[in-house]
Structure 1
Amino acid sequence: MRTSGSVGEPPTLAIAEVRLTPVLIADPPLLNTQGVHQPYTPRLIIEVITADGTSGIGETYGDTRYLQLAAPLAAALPGHSVSDVNGLFTLAEQVCTDPSEVSDSVDVGGLRGVQTADKLRLSVISGFEVACLDALGKTLGLPVHGLLGGKVRDTVDYSAYLFYRLAEHPRGRGESDDWGAALDPAGVVAQARRFADTYGFGSFKLKGGVFPPDEEIAAVRALAEAFPGRPLRLDPNGAWSVETSLYVARELAGVLQYLEDPTSTTARMAQVAAGTDMPLATNMCVTTFPEIEEAFAGKAVQVVLSDHHYWGGLRNTRELAAICRTFGVGLSMHSNTHLGISLAAMTHVAATVPNLDYACDSHYPWQSDEVITERHVFTDGRLTVCDRPGLGVELDRAALADLHRRWLDDDGTMRDRDDAAAMREADPHWTTPPVPRW
């Protein structure tokens, strides 16, 4: 096991301490095919402190299984160099044993397809890699995008992320907001107008798989009428059969920019792709490098939604982008329920990728909590790429302590995301729908 920095590197680059802080952040009652978001969702904040006191921060999923893997990696890192990010993978393989009870069910935290121990480990490594790059950038006086080869754009486009949603969480739990319910086309359009007016977003993605397909087709058509010429996307998270997917593709031909994960599995996606000219996107069947060959060779997807949490960090995201460019597959960026650390990391790596073909997703406007001192501000649907050293964000320790206290005070029901359990608060008979749902 490696326990020290590389030969010839200054001792100030050695990691002296690692801090893991699980938090619970408020989440609105957003609907998806599996249920509804819980009132609070877990995230993990990772902080690495070098020998000279420089602090680097990262963020990833905070569910119990991720914490089980993060703890031994954190314990093994003191003495490791922040510049040796390749070594994180070797170290993780040595010390991160498989978490208990890893299932073959869909990972609800990102609805990314089947959950495996390797995928969990990559998501944990991603947070540590970002923290190391943040610390290294601060030490060298370089922004993270400079460590990744330099930016090719000064701003990054983001898309409005629309959801069917309840007005409030079942039984009045969680934090309240003024968004109201969105359960029909009029509600979806009203939500989109607010996103456009407040943040300037020019493209819109609707999370589908909630209502029968004809109702969601009507919502997309209403968006097209309200925002003529704007790029639109629909993502039912694999809720449809091949036949239903082809039906929706026909009905929305010329309306959608792309259709995201209409059906589950690469084989089914390939069947849909063979029957339509509409581009198909995914963040479910292509989330690791071994999954690329089948999908690309079978022409199952035309757009991959990258996510540095899935792929093991920012450098792996750039490798994915290069592969997509080689095979002529489009590239966008997936979002989970995240805070500003992750959004900063997303923006840095997006700035370095030449073939970022579509605006990136982001849940960020939905999140009211924050652990950095200044919230990110979207202008005309874009974020300006930060040129300050590291990620360019600073930890708000008081806010972090408050959100960690919420995690400590929780009775355990919110420490693992479970959209079906949250839905049972409203409907005691709710069960996770079978796939395909329609």
Structure 2
Amino acid sequence: MTRDLTIAEVRLTPILVADPPLLNTQGVHQPYTPRLIVEIVTADGITGLGETYGDTKYLELARPLAERLTGRSVTDLNGLFGIDLAVDASRLEGAADAGGLRGVLSADKLRLSVLSAFEVACLDAQGKALGLPVHALLGGKVRDAVEYSAYLFYKWDGHPAGAPAEPDEWGAALDPDGVVAQARRLRERHGFTSFKLKGGVFPPGEEIAAVRALADAFPGHPLRLDPNGAWSVETSLKVAEELGDVLEYLEDPTLGTPAMAEVAAGAGLPLATNMCVTTFGEIKEAFTKNAVQVVLSDHHYWGGLRNTRYLAEICAAFGVAVSMHSNTHLGISLAAMTQVAATVPGLTHACDSHYPWQSEDVLTERLAFTDGRIAVSDAPGLGVEPDRDELARLHRRWAEDDGSLRDRDDAAAMRLADPSWRTPAMPRW
């Protein structure tokens, strides 16, 4: 039977999902974080799912894009990326992407972050129509499971008093003992064998002590430290010297390609990034200066799964390793990450994922980690289905919000606990 893959309807559902009080160099996560769920429905009634950031600036682009897709085919992905999206670049001048902690938010990054969800939804619909998993549409899988790393955070035991929040079972992690206890719990629950600590929260000496404690608790296991550019070149080199014998790589210790190149020249260990290489235009300078040795891709702001594969091929040509960055995401995004990661031959580092921190999801069945890995689904499309009741509930939370949580702002969340808090000038140390 020939399927009609014409797009008959596009549904956009902004939601707010619970988020614990995880600390980073800009502040703390808010009690709820915005996400956008995209559903593309074909004339035959097949629904494809996508997910991306749900902040206002993303919704403002997603809505007119959705209106222009009716009547197109879900197979016309090149046409999708040819649609002109008017981005008011003046609103973005000098703006930092606080939610992603990935530097300046350009018009191109914003546009691709929106398009990525529509591309994934189209691929999901194609796969369901053809009876093929998404990885088959990307050339086929080269592994049956994708490894993920435990994502460790300094963390409060709860959100500030007066803030709306869901119950938090994790407790505080504010010193080396707390970080190790958190890592043990994540390993017990999900079987992770590598660990990444979000740094840039405390002075470098304290974070060095936490990584050392992890190395003692998990000897021989890969460790990473990511201060989100909070350090100077000098501090970055000192930390690299202190931890060079235990770190798999050091992620974005300092801001900007020139500074990263300076650190890379003297660090003696690989540097990874999801901040100074986030668009194709940034690759040439970073690679020719040998500023980074591992690129942490993110299909959201690289523009989807096909661009992620393209990025991996460029990295392979330059001898640069590739893995995956994660922001606060749900199961649709994790399923998409797993499908594309399954197709990348040179993926030798475990991928990042916030998913264990998310107590809520919009799927009928949560994705499960086994020995730190997620099995690659061979079911049609992404292999996941939406929980309509839960999607409606999380949308009601968004609709009933007064607007204060519809745009992620880690500094604003921190000011609830410390009214004097301002986003720190970089480098902090």
Task: Specify the TM-score bucket, using the shorter chain as the normaliser.
Answer: over 0.9
The question of 1:384 aligning with 2:371 is answered no
Which of 47, 50, 72 is the aligned partner of 1:58?
50
Q: 1:124 to 1:329 in 2, by over 3 A?
A: same
Query: 1:283-307: per-residue Cα shift (whole Å, max 9, x none)?
Result: 0000110000000000000000000
Aligned to 1:426: 417
Alpha-carbon distance between aligned partners in 2 of 1:100 and 1:142, rounded to the nearest angstrom: 43
The question of 1:21 aligning with 2:13 is answered yes
Aligned to 1:103: 93
Aligned to 1:34: 26
Aligned to 1:5: none
Quote how far apart the aligned CAs of 1:100 are: 6.7
3-state DSSP of counterpart to 1:108: coil
Structure-to-structure mapping, 1:229-308, within 5 angstroms: 229-308=220-299
- Conservation of the 8 A alpha-carbon contact between 2:338 and 2:376: yes
Alpha-carbon distance between aligned partners in 2 of 1:69 and 1:280, rounded to the nearest angstrom: 34
Query: 1:98-124: per-residue Cα shift (whole Å, max 9, x none)?
Result: 377223232112111110111000000
Q: After the TM superposition, which of the residue ranges 211-220 and 171-180 deviates more from structure 2? A: 171-180
- Conservation of the 8 A alpha-carbon contact between 1:29 and 1:166: yes
TM-score by length of 2: 0.98
The question of 1:163 aligning with 2:145 is answered no
Alpha-carbon distance between aligned partners in 1 of 2:351 and 2:327, rounded to the nearest angstrom: 12
Alpha-carbon distance between aligned partners in 2 of 1:287 and 1:12, rounded to the nearest angstrom: 36
Structure-to-structure mapping, 1:18-417, within 5 angstroms: 18-91=10-83, 94-98=84-88, 101-173=91-163, 174-417=165-408
Amino acid across the alignment from 2:26: Q
Alpha-carbon distance between aligned partners in 2 of 1:98 and 1:357, rounded to the nearest angstrom: 39
Alpha-carbon distance between aligned partners in 2 of 1:129 and 1:362, rounded to the nearest angstrom: 21
Alpha-carbon distance between aligned partners in 1 of 2:121 and 2:64, rounded to the nearest angstrom: 16
- Conservation of the 8 A alpha-carbon contact between 2:89 and 2:106: no
Amino acid across the alignment from 1:48: I
Alpha-carbon distance between aligned partners in 2 of 1:201 and 1:30, rounded to the nearest angstrom: 19
Quote how far apart the aligned CAs of 1:96 are: 3.6
- Conservation of the 8 A alpha-carbon contact between 2:150 and 2:194: yes
The size of the alignment, in residue pairs, is: 428
Amino acid across the alignment from 1:44: L
Q: 1:334 to 1:28 in 2, by over 3 A?
A: same
Alpha-carbon distance between aligned partners in 1 of 2:387 and 2:139, rounded to the nearest angstrom: 29
Gap regions ≥5 residues in structure 1: 1-9
Amino acid across the alignment from 1:69: L
Quote how far apart the aligned CAs of 1:144 are: 0.3
How high is the sequence identity, in percent, across the aligned residues?
74
Alpha-carbon distance between aligned partners in 2 of 1:168 and 1:355, rounded to the nearest angstrom: 40
3-state DSSP of counterpart to 2:296: strand
3-state DSSP of counterpart to 2:202: coil
Alpha-carbon distance between aligned partners in 1 of 2:339 and 2:79, rounded to the nearest angstrom: 22
Alpha-carbon distance between aligned partners in 2 of 1:29 and 1:189, rounded to the nearest angstrom: 18
3-state DSSP of counterpart to 2:225: strand
Alpha-carbon distance between aligned partners in 2 of 1:430 and 1:124, rounded to the nearest angstrom: 31
Query: 1:60-92: per-residue Cα shift (whole Å, max 9, x none)?
Result: 00000000010110000001110011111111x
3-state DSSP of counterpart to 2:260: helix
Alpha-carbon distance between aligned partners in 1 of 2:160 and 2:328, rounded to the nearest angstrom: 19
Alpha-carbon distance between aligned partners in 1 of 2:262 and 2:344, rounded to the nearest angstrom: 30
Alpha-carbon distance between aligned partners in 2 of 1:96 and 1:152, rounded to the nearest angstrom: 38
Q: 1:100 to 1:369 in 2, by over 3 A?
A: farther
Quote how far apart the aligned CAs of 1:275 are: 1.1
Quote how far apart the aligned CAs of 1:194 are: 0.2
- Conservation of the 8 A alpha-carbon contact between 1:65 and 1:99: no
Query: 1:127-159: per-residue Cα shift (whole Å, max 9, x none)?
Result: 000000000000010000000000000000000
Alpha-carbon distance between aligned partners in 1 of 2:87 and 2:209, rounded to the nearest angstrom: 47
TM-score by length of 1: 0.96
Aligned to 1:6: none
Gap regions ≥5 residues in structure 2: none
Runs (4+) off by over 4 Å = none
Amino acid across the alignment from 2:353: S
Quote how far apart the aligned CAs of 1:175 are: 1.1
